[in-house]
Structure 1
Amino acid sequence: MGSAPGGPPDDPDEPDRIRRQRDTEPIPRTPRDSGPGYSEDAAYSSGPSYSDGPAYSDDAGYGDSGRGAYLPPEFSEDELSGLRTDAAGMPIGPRRVLPLEDEPSSLVARYLFPTERYRGEWKRHWIHLTTPLLIGTAATFALGYLSGFLARQDVPGLTTAAVIIWFGVMGWVAWQIGDWYFDRFILTNKRVMVVNGIITRKVGMMPLLRVTDMKYEQSPLGRMLNYGTFVLESAGQDQALREVKHLPNPNELYLRVVEEMYEPQAVEARLGKAEESTAEDGA
């Protein structure tokens, strides 16, 4: 580029001097007392921490670039219903389970070793007593009518025999009721067990680690009365227990066993929260 007529000649180094002058201009700084997140005691040597900086808010944004502040995810009431818990740490919502017993009964405690964590015990559904109760009712009516008929016929020996038979049937019914009371399905963090018998006690168990498949079946009557049959499949050939009939609340029990098999940490966390709530209430 030439110089103007009559003016001073062009300096060939002038463009480089102007560029160096522009590159070395001082950067304007904002006073420390006017910037957000700084105090008078803050020093550049230590640097401001992340907690001293401006916090994100729902209304904060980054201009027109379209990148807003972080917003927490939103969940519907239906999605949260299965996650909320009550004071005892139990889920509130459609999948509500009954609270666990704190301690095993005396009938069960003798079969648990010290390091085993007790999860619950269940008696069989009352439908298990249908056959004995029906037999006892039918025997009462039939033998009562027979005793009255024989008494009118003046046959004392046969009347006495009918009464003895009735007492025998009632004794068998009472035995079945007692056997139902002592029959328990037990769940721990290590195994499932079935304990039954009044005089001769029978204990069958299956480790949870060996359970390869588990299902429960409900007939139409079972769905109405809330009972079902559990079928446990094991990796071994000989199975101490495979089919357990007439268990109450089969859906709840199924969820408990599956959770104990696949999410034991969740069970421990829920029980720990329940213990903390109980301790706080007692304090």
Structure 2
Amino acid sequence: MRSVRDARVRRRLLRDVDVHEDIVDEVHHHRVVYTVPAVELVLAAAVFYLFLVSSVQVGWLLLVVIAALLGHAGWRALLQFMDVFVVTNMRVFRVTGVLSSKHATTPLSRILDITVDQPFLGLLLGYGHFTFESAAQEQGLRDIRYVPKPLERDLVIQRHVQASGLRGPRPDHHRR
């Protein structure tokens, strides 16, 4: 699945003769998003134990519950795994979806403000949430949740926007 996810990201990069887009940062969700699927797997294991010690009359129902728990846990984990936020030298974009694909993009020049929210648990575990304010207000890019190392990633974006000259002169240019 990793190769499928990576291919979906690489296909969206601009690779023309005049334009060469490079990935600055590729952001996958923090591992905390897999907590609920992991709990569902533990529940499925507990129900499987009940299946082993139960009568035949209720065994089929327990198998259905196990299948539902495993299916839901797998689907939920796969949705999180396939959700990727990418920062390039030209834009930010997000690719989501499993059976279908949704792609949202905003040029770096349109990003007006980034709010980083780290709840208490996020401070302890090292994740946070981004809220992008942009001129276009792209709904697919407004909220990026469960970003690992959010302060470092915010600095990467801010430095890249500044270095590209999108917010005033480049730091290496000195006026004479």
TM range (shorter): 0.7 to 0.9
Q: Distance in 1 between matches of 2:82 and 2:158?
A: 25
Equivalent AA in structure 2 for residue 132 of structure 1: P
**Pairing 1:111–2:12 present:** yes
1:189 aligns with 2:93: no
Matches within 5 A, 1:26-105: 105=6
Distance 1:148 1:130, change over 3 A: same
Larger-gyration structure (1/2):
1
Name structure 2 gaps, 5 residues minimum.
Answer: 166-176
With normalisation by structure 1, the TM-score equals 0.51
The amino acid of 2:8's aligned partner reads L
Look up the match of 1:87. Answer: none
* TM-score normalised over the length of structure 2: 0.79
Aligned residues: 157
Deviations 1:56-94 (A, max 9, x none): xxxxxxxxxxxxxxxxxxxxxxxxxxxxxxxxxxxxxxx
User: Aligned letter for 1:147?
Assistant: F
CA separation in 2, counterparts of 1:194 and 1:157? Answer: 48
* Alignment CA distance shift 1:238-1:257 (3 Å): closer
Are residues 1:230 and 2:130 paired?
A: yes
Secondary structure in structure 1 of the residue aligned to 2:54:
helix
Contact 2:115 2:131 in 1 (8 A): yes
Structure 1 moving runs of 4+ over 6 Å: none
- Structure 1, gaps ≥5 residues long: 1-103, 266-283
User: 2:69: which partner in 1?
Assistant: 169
| Cα distance, 1:214 vs structure 2 | 0.6
Q: Superposition RMSD on alpha carbons, in Å?
A: 2.0
| Distance in 2 (alpha carbons) for counterparts of 1:133 and 1:237 | 34
- Structure 1 counterpart of 2:25: 120
1:232/1:242 contact within 8 Å kept = yes
Alignment of 1:202-217 (within 5 A): 202-217=102-117
**Percent same amino acid at aligned positions?**
28
When you count helix as a share of all residues, which structure comes out higher? 2
Letter in 1 for 2:10: A
SS in 2 for 1:194: strand
Distance in structure 1 (CA, Å) of the matches to 2:52 and 2:91: 54
TM-fit CA distance, 1:144: 3.1
